[in-house]
Structures are given as structure tokens and as C-alpha cells.
Amino acid sequence: MGLPREEVVSGSAAELARFEELIRPLSVAEWKTPTRCAGWATGDVAKHVAGTIADIATGRFAELAAPDAPSRQVAERRGKSAREVADELHQATKVVADIGAAFDDAAWAGPAPAGIPGTLGEGVEAIWYDTYVHAEDIRVALGRQPERGPGLRVSVSHLADLLGQRGWGPAVLALDGLDEVPVSGGGGRRITGDPLTFILVATGRRAAKDMGLDDSVNVYA
């Protein structure tokens, strides 16, 4: 289903700017702090996010779609500091923002490039969602409070699409403070509660039982 094009284009750019602000001042010790992403420190998470945007800015869509893309993105930035990764992200974000501004409705509803699943619009939603969730990974690792901004809305929207693709549901995500989002056409069970908890459950970062669900809700299982 997805969110409106204008909201996603502007929202993803704003989320990337917040991510840059989050990582730029990190100390060497903070950059090396372990996260809930197995085997990754905060710097690795940041390198993955920056690598994704750099891949898009340079047209490396086939590499971006490959299963080993996250590990490649981290490896390509081995030894880079927080400031260096933030600088790279800043430059790549400007290029990607210019590309996004050129999309019209037809392109938005068309296929994503290089065999990436879904529509172009869903692909851009995925960028915003991925950046928001990984920013939360870093905040948690550093003992900071979560941010309950517009990233919640896009993450729930994107997860509803992923769950529908997996045949999960039908269901309605009726989470606190957000518009209701149907999964697999809607109807069926109504999932209520805290949207951030749902995001963590649906990405395997918290136990499914925390939302009264089973492990089939984990889109990465």
C-alpha cells in the first residue's frame, strides 16, 4: 500500500539527516560499542546505512540487491571514523535527494531497479525504515532514549507490506497513535499496542510474545 510519495521523499531525507547528526559526534569508544545487531558495533551499523545510500547514489543497484550487501558495505568502510562515514553519508544523501525529487507518480508506482522486490516507492520507504530502525539500534546501544517520530509510521507501513508479501494475516495493525494499516487486505485479527514494540517484534529485535504474537511475525525469520 505505502505512504504518499511526497511524504516518503521528504521523510527519508529528513531521517538520513537525523542519522548523520546521530553518528557524526560519536567518540571512538561509542563507535565501537556492540549493538543488538549480531556481530556489529555502532560503527558497523552506520557503515551499512551510509553504504546503502552510497550504492544508490552511484547506481550500484545490483550490488545493493545482493544478499551480502550489508557485509560488503561494512567491509568497504573498514577503518573509517564516525566523521568520515558521516561525511560520506552527507554527500550521498544530497545525490539521492536530487534523484528522488525527479520521481513522478508513474515512476513511483513502477518497479524498483535491478530486480529489487516491489515498486520504486516501496524501495524508498525501505530506505527510510531501515535508517530509522538502525538509528534506534545505535541509540539503544549507547543507552539513549528512543525517538518516536515519523519513522514509526513508515516502519509500520513498510512492515505491513513485508508481512503481506510473506502471506501473514489477514490482519489490521491498529497501533497506538497511528492510522490503521491493513495486512493482506485487512480484516482478521486486530494488532494493538505500542508501535515501537511492534517494530522490534516484527524485525526480531524483541520476542513475539511481547505483543501476544508468534514467531511468524518476524519478517527476517
Q: How confident is the model at residue 59 (pLDDT cuts 50, 70, 90)?
A: very high
Percent helix, percent strand, percent coil in the chain, to nearest 5: 60, 10, 35
- CA 122/CA 52 separation, integer angstroms: 15
181 CB-near residues (< 8 Å, 6+ apart): 1, 156, 157, 160, 172, 173
Looking at every residue in the chain, the average pLDDT score rounds to: 95
Q: What angle separates helix 5-23 from helix 151-165, to the nearest 10 degrees?
A: 110
Predicted TM-score (pTM) of the model is 0.95
Give 92's Cβ-side CA count (13 Å radius): 23
The CA distance from 214 to 52, in Å, is: 31
* Residues 178, 217 contacting (CB under 8 angstroms): no
Domains (ranges, CATH) in the chain? Answer: 5-141 (1.20.120.450), 151-217 (3.30.1050)
92 — phi, psi (to 5°)? -65, -35
**Would you place residue 118 in the very low, low, confident or very high pLDDT band (cuts 50, 70, 90)?**
confident
Q: How confident is the model at residue 23 (pLDDT cuts 50, 70, 90)?
A: very high
CA dihedral 183, 189, 194, 198 (to 10 degrees): -50
Residue 1: pLDDT band (50, 70, 90) is low
**Phi and psi at residue 41, in whole multiples of 5°?**
-85, 175
